[in-house]
A and B are shown apart, each in its own frame.
Chain A
Amino acid sequence: MIKNDRVNICIPINLRRLFPSDSLRNFTLFFHTTVTDKNHLEIADILPHVKKSFSEGLTKESIIENINVNMQAERNMAMRLTPLFLKKPAMTIAGTMYGGRLNTLTMSNIGIVQLPESMAEHVKDFEFNLSNDINCAYGIGVITFNNVMTISILREVRDTLLPMQFLRNLVNLGLAVEVESNYWEEVA
């Protein structure tokens, strides 16, 4: 089912928490965590591995190291002098060949949304939809409001195995799960 038995999850990190910035622009960096599942491990065996990669990869030092690698390429004189009209298509091709395909899915958790009381009483729920494309089959957005966590799973594949296993796991953990769908797989 999983090619190469390798699952790579891409998670955007909100850099504002670590590096204070007043800019309104998107200030994020992508963190990748990979699980090589040759022995078809159970979720309980995978979790410590993911937790370890998070605790090691999401430190300020490790993020600075990643930023430095990106900046090295950006500061390279040959790269700087290459015109944008050449760099853009080259980066698009490289991104298509090596970027998106390395990801099994992209997942982002906005966290708990808190609204002023006067506004909260008029809001029923929130949805956070993360875009996906042909190279990254799943875009999973998580948002919590009013003690309800909403997980939006946008997918490029008709197969519903991944959302089914994921939500069945949540049910097994004792959580009450409500599912809604637009039955996209029937008409796509």
Chain B
Amino acid sequence: MDYCPECKVQVVSKGEKCPLCQGPLDRGEKPASKKPFPSYIKFVNLRKRWARGISLAAPVAIGICVLINLLTWNGFLWSLIVGVAILYAWLVGLYTVRRTDHLGQKLLLHAIGISALLIVINFVTASPSMTSSEFLENFSEIARWSLDYAMPATLMAFILAINIATLSQRHRLRDYIIAQFSLSFIGFIPFVLIMIDIFAADILGSLFMSIAASSFSLLTLLVFVIFAPKLVAKEFGRRFHI
């Protein structure tokens, strides 16, 4: 076993110098009484490096797009679409890749992100040269395809996805329940938005998807409340400390 004359300690490890004072060791002939501690293997976290790189690149890319859009301004705010798309890919995408669990939260975040992106695309492409007053006056007309069709369809798809996940992994119901309820409540939003506007314009023809999304949300909520009332009450009590 080796010995450090400075620290006056026996050194079991097979290093060249004393692990404490970094000084030279007196080599001993007698082997160490125990197996030396294995050498440290440096761990490089590539995921973390990529995440940091993306977190640096994303705001820079958004800034460059906004700058180019302003310098070459032709009345079309395309940088808003690019910015929201990058934000969505950055925040939600990164969370999806980095976390290996929380499927419910991931689905909820994707549903919100995609809905927001669709609404932005709709507004920006439908009103390239409108003033803000014109925009507010024609809001219901402009928001037509995103709020009437795209957002309800997206929400229905994600509610269906989380329902499938819950049914296929019933033992993880507790992990999914808050995301499931949040998604189901969000599913009512397109219908509520249209109901606010229903007396102002004749839009009955476009109500179909919103009603379908709301009905699907309501059905999901009812299934949970009827078939697992104790679990729902317990989980909400636990989450909100009631």
Contact = CB atoms under 8 A, between A and B. Distances in A.
Interface of A: 79-85, 124-125, 160, 163-164, 167-168, 171, 176-184, 186-188
B171 interface: no
Contact of B11 (A163, A179, A187): A179
A179 B10 contact: yes
25 contacts: A81-B240, A84-B241, A160-B20, A164-B21, A168-B7, A168-B20, A171-B7, A171-B9, A178-B12, A179-B7, A179-B11, A179-B12, A179-B13, A179-B18, A179-B20, A180-B11, A180-B34, A180-B36, A181-B15, A182-B39, A183-B13, A183-B19, A183-B39, A184-B40, A188-B42
Interface of B: 1, 4, 7-13, 15, 18-22, 33-34, 36-40, 42, 178, 239-242
B191 to A, nearest CB: 25
Contacts of B4: 179
Nearest to A166: B20
Contact of A179 (B19, B33, B40, B178): B19
Contacts of A160: 19-22
Contact of A180 (B13, B22, B40, B239): B13
Contacts of A79: 241
B19 A178 contact: no
B242 A81 contact: yes
Contacts of B1: 178
A84 B241 CA distance: 8
Given A180-B13, A181-B37, A187-B42, A168 B8 contact: yes
B48 to A, nearest CB: 13
Contacts of A184: 40
A84, A163, A178, A188 interface centre (most CB from chain B within 10 Å):
A178
Contacts of A181: 13, 15, 19, 37
A85 B10 CA distance: 51
A187 B42 CA distance: 7
A57 to B, nearest CB: 29
Contacts of A168: 7-8, 20
A84 to B, nearest CB: 5
Contacts of A124: 34
Contacts of B178: 85
A171 B34 CA distance: 20
Contacts of B40: 182-184, 186-188
Given A171-B8, A180-B12, A125 B34 contact: yes
B15 A177 contact: no
A83 to B, nearest CB: 6
A178 B242 contact: no
A166 B131 CA distance: 72
B34 to A, nearest CB: 7
Given A160-B19, A187-B40, A83 B239 contact: yes
A167 B242 contact: no
A164 B12 contact: no
A139 to B, nearest CB: 16
A53 to B, nearest CB: 28
B241 A81 contact: yes
